[in-house]
Amino acid sequence: MPGGKHLLGKSPGRHIFGTARVGEKGQIVIPKEARLLFHVEPGDTLLILGDEDTGIIVTKPEVLQKAALEIFEKMEKEDKNGA
């Protein structure tokens, strides 16, 4: 199905792209459909985040850049205010 399989009861922006087998060197292949949708090209850098309860997130660093900048700005304000 083009655009990934939509999760039942979820918005159309959510997708299931299938599974990926972990190779001998710990590498995985990102399904072509996901690479096309998210514009992942050879040589791109991806950010890998993990939570022991919920699992692994693979994303482009730019996705979290805005959130990180907001956190740093808040920290700077707190430092200036002596909090």
Domain parsing of the chain, residue ranges:
1-44, 45-83
Contact present, 74 and 40 (Cβ < 8 Å): no
Q: How far apart are CA 53 and CA 39, in angstroms?
A: 28
Distant-in-sequence, close-in-space partners of 72: CB < 8 Å, separation ≥ 6? none
What is the pLDDT at residue 64?
86
Q: What is the pLDDT of residue 82?
A: 75
Whole-structure pTM value: 0.64
> Minimal CA–CA distance to 61: which of 37, 32, 38?
38
Q: What is the predicted pLDDT for the residue at 41?
A: 96
pLDDT of residue 10: 61
In order along its 83 residues, the chain shows pLDDT tens digits of 445 555 555 677 888 888 999 999 999 999 999 999 999 999 999 999 998 998 998 999 988 888 888 888 888 888 888 75
* Secondary structure letter of residue 29 according to DSSP: -
d(CA 68, CA 13): 23
